[in-house]
Structure 1
Amino acid sequence: MMKVALSVLLFLVAMSSAFGKYMPKTGKRIPETLSRGWGDQLIWAQTYEEALYWSRSRNKPLLVIFHLENCPHSQALKKVFSEDNEIQKILDEQFVVLNLVYETTDKHLSPDGQYVPRILFVDPSMTVRADINGRYSNRMYAYEPSDVKILLSNMKKAQKLLKSEL
């Protein structure tokens, strides 16, 4: 009788641990990718240091997006950015891409302050392209959803590298 009770107890413990995995109330969650919704098909660098290495080794300019997940301006730009096929194609073929929800220690990436959304270009020579900016004088590297043509134009400017030989 003792062996039966012990067997049942072990069975119950095994079953509770097997089915005891936490499941969110909203159901199964999709794992977050490095794209954070800015272009899931693109290969995104994980850190600024990794992005600089890729940029230099592949001789491609780096596009850095600073944004916040709960910022309505970032969300609006992200929607237009991720749905524009031309932007996505150029980024996939010609750029190294990185999006950050935090500031880096490199002060060159905030030449006119820390605000979001902000898009900067970095040359493979590791020079921040402060000469490539948007249309606003008080937020020089900010883009709005209506600024897609300006962003595309700036992406083409960034493709003209400062130093072609590294």
Structure 2
Amino acid sequence: MPHSKDTIMASHAILLLCLAVVLPVIYADGLGRGFGDDINWKTLDAGLKESKDLNKPLMLIIHKSWCGACKALKPKFADSSEIKELSEKFVMVNVEDNEEPSDSKYTPDGGYIPRILFLDSTGTVRTELINENGNPQYKYYYPEATSVVKSMKKAADVLIESKAGVDEL
């Protein structure tokens, strides 16, 4: 028995509805990878280029998909309205798993994860921008959003506001 035009249209509509529901779930993470899809994330290469071109500092999160501490930080980071607001002052990059850069400058005090580093617009890791409330053995480890916010504010002060004062002279 041949299918009617209405039956075919209905089956196509159901298929499209299923795709509309399933595809966003599959690709929801995108470059946010759980750290917040409402943040304008870049790949490392694109981020370094944009940072240089716009003379804007870069914030880099290095994490692994299997890491418990990384998984615990993601919702805290993503749910922070302060982080979202401050992210606009930075080129935001997060690298996961095999994307982690091999250059030793990205492991200033070890290769633990997660690490959050701040880079100036020349691509230099600013090693003085650390989690001041954290463990001195793991200076770039952040277990919660409040310490990330504090470091983002300090990085903005050091890398943006001080630069603006020099530009005005």
Q: TM-score normalised by the shorter chain: which range applies?
A: 0.7 to 0.9
Q: Tell me how far 1:97 sits from its aligned partner.
A: 0.6
SS at match of 2:159: coil
Q: CA deviation at 1:115?
A: 1.1
Q: State whether structure 2 residue 99 is matched by structure 1 residue 100.
A: no
Encode CA deviations 1:70-98: one digit per residue, 9 max, x unaligned: 2111011111000010111110x201111
Is 1:117–2:84 an aligned residue pair?
A: no
Deviation at 1:41, TM superposition (A): 1.2
- Could you tell me which of 35, 38, 52 is aligned with 1:56? 52
**What displacement does 1:136 show?**
1.1
Q: CA RMSD of the aligned region, Å? A: 2.2
Matched ranges for 1:147-158 at <5 A? 148-158=145-155
The structure that is helix-richer by fraction is 2
TM-score normalised over the length of structure 2: 0.73
2:70 is the counterpart of 1:70: no
- 8 Å Cα contact 1:66-1:119 kept in structure 2: yes
AA partner of residue 86 (structure 2): I
Structure 2 partner of 1:14: none
Q: How big is the shift at 1:150?
A: 2.5
CA distance in 2, matches of 1:71, 1:127: 26
For the 8 Å contact 1:63–1:95, the answer to whether it is kept is yes
| Structure 2 residue identity aligned to 1:142 | Y
**Normalising by the residue count of structure 1, what TM-score does the alignment of the two structures yield?**
0.74
Inter-partner Cα distance in structure 2 for 1:60 and 1:136: 28
Unaligned runs of 5+ in 1: 1-26
Give the alignment of 1:4-15 within 5 angstroms: none
Q: How many residues align?
A: 137
Gaps spanning 5+ residues in structure 2: where?
1-20
Q: Which of 40, 43, 48 is residue 40 of structure 2 equivalent to?
A: 43
CA contact (8 A) 1:123 1:158 kept: no
